[in-house]
Amino acid sequence: MQSTSRNFKDNAHKALNDATLQRALLNVKSGFQENRARTVAGLPEFEQLRDAGRDIKNHVLANLDFYLERFEENVTANGGHVHWCRTPAEARETILEICKRREAKTVTKGKSMVAEEIGLNDYLEKNGVEPIETDLGEYIIQLRHEPPSHIIAPAIHVTREQIAEDFRREHKDLDPNRRLEIPQDFTDEARAKLRERYFAADVGITGANFLIAETGSTVIVTNEGNGDMTQLLGKAHVVIASLEKIVPTLEDASTILRLLARSATGQEMSVYTSFSTGPRRSEDMDGPEEFHVVLLDNGRSAMLGTEFQDMLRCIRCAACMNHCPVYAAVGGHAYGWVYPGPMGSVLTPSLIGVEEAGHLPNASTFCGRCESVCPMCIPLPKMMRHYRQREFEKGLSPQKARAGLSLWSYFATRPKLYRLATRLASGLLGKLGKVNGRFTSLPLAGGWTSVRDMPAPEGKTFHDLYRERQAKGGRA
Ligand code: SF4
């Protein structure tokens, strides 16, 4: 997928002025946050499970080569194939080669962010294979020719009225009197269209929430059952997954599954949790003739042993973006690549470079909610700070910001001078702003005052107030 992360500021500006998008984004707050809070409150051992999930993933990352090889051995023993792909191009070519060998004209697809990462749909289309998205959200954005804006609710930026309009435009035989108002209407209409496509598809492509080393199984969780149809009805089932999805055992997968749905949608479990272990056996009633796992690295192995390794614990639950005030204000498209929100602000620069995505770690208020809700205890704010530092060290941050920081650090490393300068500045600003109690414009602070007023200081610095209160014996 082509990145526009460099344009984050412009993208965000557009998003803030898009009234329809702003209306659609209200769903993030009203749905996900409340549902998560309710289900988490109903599970007293949730914090212990978080620790257990973190420890499982840390163990895997410390022994990644061992578990990946074990997974491959078991997939092969079950009659399947594992394809190791270092780059998106290798992954795309591998999947196309499987489609061509099966003479596939159409493929059905379950939701997969890794497929978005490698730009799979465009590539298949250019090479004469039609991809059909089967997840309702993905189906909607495919009709609209848009990328997803959220990792578990790809069409969250679209209102119901817009979806109804899209269906009426694209489904040529749709009865004009048919009701298209509530989610069930859209699901029924999409299901009717998709059913015939499942049977016509030669290959089914899904992502994976987990890869299980001890059995060679892949696991997907869905709420619509589309993943099961996709992986069972094609002649070949292709799973595309990034290598950090591996867990050692079924028991480990079940521990993390208890965290996943609660953190994602606020359900205790997703409606379907489906395991695939190799192709159809002679005694099976149905299933694919071929089973392939395309394992993508795309820069992840380079994160091992760095300050960004913890990011590889991510289970793509989206809790961080559902609780992020910046995501709630600008939505997912503003981030300009596959992964939005706080997890995207760390993963995107890790995968496509800080030169391309350096704005994203700055798109944070550092309120810390992302880390507090992350089921894998990933220290997202800390990693964003590391990227800010890298951006600064590489000279990528704006000249004004660099000059301001250099000036501040000059004073901050000289405490007496710092106290004197802040006292003078605070006193002067306090006098100048006395009449209105605020500034509507200030030189060097235009970025702030162009969108909000700046309160005038009350004439004393924090240090002065602290000292005064201590001298009075009060709390500092
Ligand atoms: S960083 Fe944490 S909260 Fe965000 S998607 Fe990943 S696991 Fe979920």
Is 343 touching ligand 1 by the criterion CB < 6 Å?
yes
Name the nearest CA neighbour of 291 among 226, 208, 199, 191.
208
For tokens 């992964």, the residue is: 339
Alpha carbon 116 to chain centroid distance? 12
- Looking at every residue in the chain, the average pLDDT score rounds to 93
Cα separations in angstroms, 152 against 135, 246, 340: 10, 20, 11
Residue 366: CB atoms within 10 Å: 12
**For residue 343, which atom of ligand 1 is closest to its CA?**
1
Per-residue model confidence (pLDDT) at position 475 = 60
Euclidean distance between CA atoms 283 and 324, whole angstroms: 49
Residue 251: CB atoms within 10 Å: 11
pLDDT exceeds cutoff 80 at 444: no
Tell me the pLDDT band of 102, cut-offs 50, 70 and 90: very high
Is 385 touching ligand 1 by the criterion CB < 6 Å?
no
For tokens 């209102």, the residue is: 159
- Report, as an integer, the average pLDDT of 339-368: 96
pLDDT digit string, tens, across residues 27-46: 777 789 999 999 999 999 99
Is 378 touching ligand 1 by the criterion CB < 6 Å?
yes
Say which range, 69-73, 90-94, 265-269, 429-433, has the weakest mean pLDDT.
429-433
Ligand 1 pocket test, pick from 317, 369, 370 with the greatest ligand atom count within 8 Å of Cβ, gives 317
Per-residue model confidence (pLDDT) at position 36 = 95
Task: Calculate how far, in angstroms, residue 313's C-alpha sits from the geometric centre of ligand 1.
Answer: 8
Is 374 touching ligand 1 by the criterion CB < 6 Å?
yes
pLDDT exceeds cutoff 60 at 55: yes
* 424: amino acid identity, one letter: L
pLDDT digit string, tens, across residues 238-267: 999 999 999 999 999 999 999 999 999 999
257-296 as b/e, with b when 16 or more CB fall inside 10 Å? bbbbbbbbbbeeebeebbebbbbbeeeeeebbebbbbbbb
**For residue 341, which atom of ligand 1 is closest to its CA?**
4
- Residue-level length of the chain: 476
pLDDT digit string, tens, across residues 371-410: 999 999 999 999 999 999 999 899 898 888 888 888 999 9
pLDDT exceeds cutoff 90 at 145: yes
Is 240 touching ligand 1 by the criterion CB < 6 Å?
no
Is 317 touching ligand 1 by the criterion CB < 6 Å?
yes
Per-residue model confidence (pLDDT) at position 459 = 75
pLDDT digit string, tens, across residues 215-233: 999 999 999 888 999 999 8
Say which range, 297-311, 313-327, 383-397, has the weakest mean pLDDT.
383-397
Per-residue model confidence (pLDDT) at position 437 = 86
Is 314 touching ligand 1 by the criterion CB < 6 Å?
yes
Name the nearest CA neighbour of 311 among 260, 381, 258, 366.
381
Q: Tokens for 437? A: 């109690």
Cα separations in angstroms, 420 against 192, 286, 411, 432: 73, 79, 10, 18
Per-residue model confidence (pLDDT) at position 476 = 52
Is 315 touching ligand 1 by the criterion CB < 6 Å?
yes
Task: Calculate how far, in angstroms, residue 160's C-alpha sits from the geometric centre of ligand 1.
Answer: 27
Task: Calculate how far, in angstroms, residue 310's C-alpha sits from the geometric centre of ligand 1.
Answer: 11
Q: What is the 3-state secondary structure (H, E, C) of 144-171?
A: HCCCCCCCCCCCCCCCHHHHHHHHHHHC
Take atom 7 of ligand 1 and give the residue whose Cα is closest.
314
CA atoms within 13 A on the CB side of 161: 4
Per-residue model confidence (pLDDT) at position 28 = 79
For tokens 């309009």, the residue is: 165
Task: Calculate how far, in angstroms, residue 371's C-alpha sits from the geometric centre of ligand 1.
Answer: 8
Is 152 touching ligand 1 by the criterion CB < 6 Å?
no
Pairing verdict, β 438-439 and 217-222: unpaired
Tell me the pLDDT band of 463, cut-offs 50, 70 and 90: confident
Task: Calculate how far, in angstroms, residue 273's C-alpha sits from the geometric centre of ligand 1.
Answer: 19
Euclidean distance between CA atoms 354 and 397, whole angstroms: 11
Pairing verdict, β 217-222 and 290-296: unpaired
Tell me the pLDDT band of 445, cut-offs 50, 70 and 90: confident
Question: For 337, which DSSP code?
Answer: S
> Which residues sit opposite 221 in a β-bridge?
273
pLDDT digit string, tens, across residues 274-286: 999 999 999 999 9
Task: Calculate how far, in angstroms, residue 361's C-alpha sits from the geometric centre of ligand 1.
Answer: 15
E strand spans, 55-129: 81-85, 106-109
pLDDT exceeds cutoff 60 at 351: yes
Is 312 touching ligand 1 by the criterion CB < 6 Å?
no
pLDDT exceeds cutoff 70 at 474: no
Euclidean distance between CA atoms 249 and 71, whole angstroms: 10
Name the nearest CA neighbour of 189 among 202, 174, 201.
174
Ligand 1 pocket test, pick from 256, 308, 316, 369 with the greatest ligand atom count within 8 Å of Cβ, gives 316
Is 261 touching ligand 1 by the criterion CB < 6 Å?
no
Per-residue model confidence (pLDDT) at position 159 = 93
Work out the percent of the chain whose per-residue pLDDT is above 70. Answer: 99
Ligand 1 pocket test, pick from 378, 380, 382, 383 with the greatest ligand atom count within 8 Å of Cβ, gives 378
- Report, as an integer, the average pLDDT of 1-14: 92
Euclidean distance between CA atoms 443 and 437, whole angstroms: 17
Is 318 touching ligand 1 by the criterion CB < 6 Å?
yes
pLDDT digit string, tens, across residues 154-178: 999 999 999 999 999 999 888 888 8
Is 260 touching ligand 1 by the criterion CB < 6 Å?
no
Q: Tokens for 214? A: 């001890």
Task: Calculate how far, in angstroms, residue 317's C-alpha sits from the geometric centre of ligand 1.
Answer: 5
Is 213 touching ligand 1 by the criterion CB < 6 Å?
no
Alpha carbon 260 to chain centroid distance? 14
- Report, as an integer, the average pLDDT of 5-13: 95
pLDDT exceeds cutoff 60 at 140: yes
Is 194 touching ligand 1 by the criterion CB < 6 Å?
no
Per-residue model confidence (pLDDT) at position 448 = 80
